[in-house]
Amino acid sequence: MSILTPDILAPDEIADVVARVMRDFPGEYWQRTDRERAYPTDFVTAMTEAGLLSVLIPEEYGGAGQPLSVAGRILMEVHRLGGNAGAAHAQMYTMGTVLRHGSEAQKAEWLPRIASGELRLQAFGVTEPTAGTDTSSIRTRARRDGDRYVVNGQKVWTSRAEHSDLMLLLARTSDPAEGEKRTAGMSIFLVDMREVRGKSLTIRPIRTMLNHATTEVFFNDMPAPAANLIGEEGKGFRYLLDGLNAERLLIASECVGDGRWFVETATRYAQEREVFRRPIGQNQGVQFPIARAHIAVETAALSVDHAMRLYDAGQPCGAEANMAKLVASEASWQAGDTCLQTHGGYGFAEEYDVERKFRETRLYQVAPISTNLILSHVAEHVLGLPRSF
């Protein structure tokens, strides 16, 4: 039963709802799942039952119908309280592709079941080994065959595929015509993995430095019903771009949460840890880095809030969303480095939980978009500099 109602909008009310859920998931829980490389199923279930993962789904489909800023606050609080929403955050922004571009029949069929937790939509197959960030070069093909498509190809860095029922898949359905952009001819499908997993769809886990449940996915003559094509054939790249601002801002919110956890943790340790018969926080060499980290995180939070307001108002915010993601990811990393340094050798000890959060927050300068790509976007589209190669 959801404990989030459509009337809850204030940040303190959202924080209270998240705190109630997070009471059952202290640091020890996250240390154990990290150590065992286990998917935090109990956490995802609790978030679902509380209505926190369906917050962006409209009320008529069983969600709370809240703006993106509310979703961002939820993820930020999870991370501020020591958790990691990476196991479930994609359900918030991948759902938006179905909501904005799916047919009425598709929305009626899938969104209520996603909102209730009957189905998980947490995987998005975009990146490929030979394409990387050059999405226009993807090779995964979907060939029309009567009332279905047949898909062949491979995706990589597809997180949560093993723990998701549904996947959004970007595949090429045709080659660009002469004069068209290279991104023409790509389409998006909603894949019901329950029907093809272990048959025409194979999932191979990728072991990484953090517990992010990421995988390679292989498609071997995988059938995809034509009824599961999202929007119009050939316009999938446009639909993909449409959801990127939301993705950037939700990830930036998580970074702010991480940054605040690091600052709070470092401050507490600096007050409690005594060396030479006085707390180490009495030394400016310890104080000042923590203060700088705090300033960086709170400045990033202002940037995220500003971009969120633009997004919720339906105004253009591509540059603002990208800049917010960049400064938030760098601020959380700065705070993480400061927290680790404040703890000294103990920062590397598992029991203090700093090293886990340190590893986790480093991801966000690489994914879902790298810092260099954001800089390239700002240079070209904001400053008007020549396109770089």
Q: Return the domain boundaries, the chain.
A: 11-119, 122-233, 243-382
pLDDT for res 132: 83
What is the mean pLDDT, run by run of 10 residues, along the chain of 389 residues? 56 90 97 96 96 95 94 97 94 91 97 96 95 91 98 97 97 93 96 96 96 96 98 95 93 98 98 96 98 98 98 96 98 98 97 97 95 95 89
**Structure tokens, 373:** 């790509």
Q: Which CATH class is domain 11-119?
A: mainly alpha
Catalytic option among 247, 254, 320, 355: 247
Which helix (H) or strand (E) segment holds residue 167: the answer is: strand 166-172
**Is 380 annotated in the active site?**
no
pLDDT for res 1: 44
pTM of the model: 0.95
What homologous superfamily does CATH list for 243-382? Answer: Butyryl-CoA Dehydrogenase, subunit A, domain 3 (1.20.140.10)
Q: Classify residue 158 as left (phi > 0), alpha (psi -120 to 50) or beta.
A: beta
CA distances from 316 to 41, 92, 313, 325, 351 (A): 36, 20, 9, 16, 44
Could you say which of 1.20.120.1200, 2.40.110.10, 3.40.190.10, 1.20.200.10 is the CATH number of the domain covering 122-233? 2.40.110.10
Question: Regarding beta strands 278-279 and 274-275, do their DSSP bridges make them parallel or antiparallel, or are they unpaired?
Answer: antiparallel
Minimal CA–CA distance to 299: which of 309, 289, 291?
Answer: 291
**Structure tokens, 252:** 């930036």
pLDDT for res 7: 58
Residue with tokens 């329950």: 194
pLDDT for res 10: 76
